[in-house]
Amino acid sequence: MKFLRDLRSVMNLTVLVAGLGYFVDLFDITLFGVVRSASLKDIGITDPAEILQKGILIYNCQMVGMMVGGLLWGVLGDKRGRLSVMFGSILLYSFANIGNAFAWDVTSYAVFRFLGGVGLAGELGAAITLVAESLPKDKRGLGTTIVATLGMLGIVAAALVGQYLQWKTAYLTGGVMGLALLFARFKVSESELFTKKMDPSRANPFLLLQGGRFFKYICCILIGVPIYFTTGILFTFAPELTAGLNVQGTVTAGNAILAGSIGLTIGDLLAGVFSQLLKSRKRAVALNLCAGFALMLMYGLVPGLTSTMVYVLSFLIGITVGYWAVLVTMAAEQYGTNIRATVATTVPNFVRGSAAIAASGFGFLKGHIGVSNAALTIGSICFTLALLSLTRIEETFHRDLDFEEHAKGEGP
Domain locations along the chain:
10-184+207-390
CA distance 13 to 372: 45
pTM score > 0.75 for this model? yes
Question: 3-class secondary structure for 119-133?
Answer: HHCCHHHHHHHHHHH
Give the pLDDT means over successive 10-residue stretches in the chain (412 positions).
62 78 83 82 81 81 83 76 74 88 87 89 77 75 79 81 83 87 70 60 71 88 91 81 78 83 85 86 94 91 84 93 87 82 82 78 80 85 95 85 64 38
pLDDT digits (tens, 9 = 90+) for 218-238: 999 999 999 988 887 888 778
Q: Which is it for the CA torsion 356, 334, 317, 251, positive or negative?
A: negative
For 10-184+207-390, CATH number?
A: 1.20.1250.20
- For residue 315, give every residue at least 6 positions away whose Cβ sits within 8 Å of its Cβ, in sequence order, or none: 259, 260, 262, 263
